[in-house]
């Protein structure tokens, strides 16, 4: 397994919702890479929205474009119906946002934090 974090994010297109539960959504999505000749190479993935990503996109739908900012990629082993060992890649997405029509971020999944108040610079409050 390895972890992915990119503040700019990676764009992806949702193709199918496999399972929707109270705390996660399993789905199929694709990403693409532009090649030197101008064509695109596509990759298909099994994804799971959890945590902040699930809270920010609770109604994930086929056809939506999302921006993935933080994820864990695993190669999960299982046995098929014939008893043979198989594996598949799963991308567990921790932070994501819905991309609007222009491709910009429409919904943030980063937790809201309060900005720290600047320290007082009043000379009467200094300890010396």
pLDDT in tens, 13-61: 999 999 999 999 999 999 999 999 999 999 999 999 999 999 999 899 9
What band does 75 get if pLDDT is binned at 50, 70 and 90?
very high
Q: Domain total for the chain?
A: 1
**Do the Cβ atoms of 16 and 34 come closer than 8 Å?**
no
Confirm if 72 and 1 have CB atoms less than 8 A apart: yes
52: helix, strand or coil = helix
CATH number for the domain that contains residue 41: 2.40.50.140
**Residues 106 and 59 sit within 8 Å (Cβ to Cβ):** no
Pairing mode, strands 40-49 and 85-98 = parallel
Within a domain: 29 = yes
Instruction: Give the residue numbers spanning the domain of 93.
Output: 2-106
Measured between alpha carbons, how far is 78 from 21 in angstroms, rounded to an integer? 22
Whether 111 maps to a domain, the answer reads no
Q: How confident is the model at residue 122 (pLDDT cuts 50, 70, 90)?
A: low
Say if residue 80 is exposed, middle or buried (CB neighbours under 10 Å; 0-12, 13-18, 19+): exposed
pLDDT band (50, 70, 90) for residue 88: confident
Phi/psi of residue 25, each to 5°?
A: -135, 125
């Amino acid at each position: 397994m390895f972890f992915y974090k990119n503040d700019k994010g990676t764009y992806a297109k949702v193709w199918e919702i496999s399972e929707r539960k109270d705390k996660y959504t399993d789905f199929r999505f694709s990403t693409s890479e532009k090649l030197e000749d101008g064509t695109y190479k596509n990759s298909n993935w099994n994804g799971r929205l959890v945590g902040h990503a699930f809270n920010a996109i609770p109604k994930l739908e086929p056809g939506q474009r999302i921006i993935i900012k933080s994820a864990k990629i695993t190669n999960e082993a299982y046995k098929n119906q014939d008893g043979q060992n198989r594996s598949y890649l799963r991308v567990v997405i921790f932070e994501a946002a819905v991309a609007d029509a222009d491709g910009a971020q429409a919904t943030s999944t980063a937790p809201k934090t309060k900005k720290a108040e600047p320290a007082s610079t009043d000379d009467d409050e200094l300890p010396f």
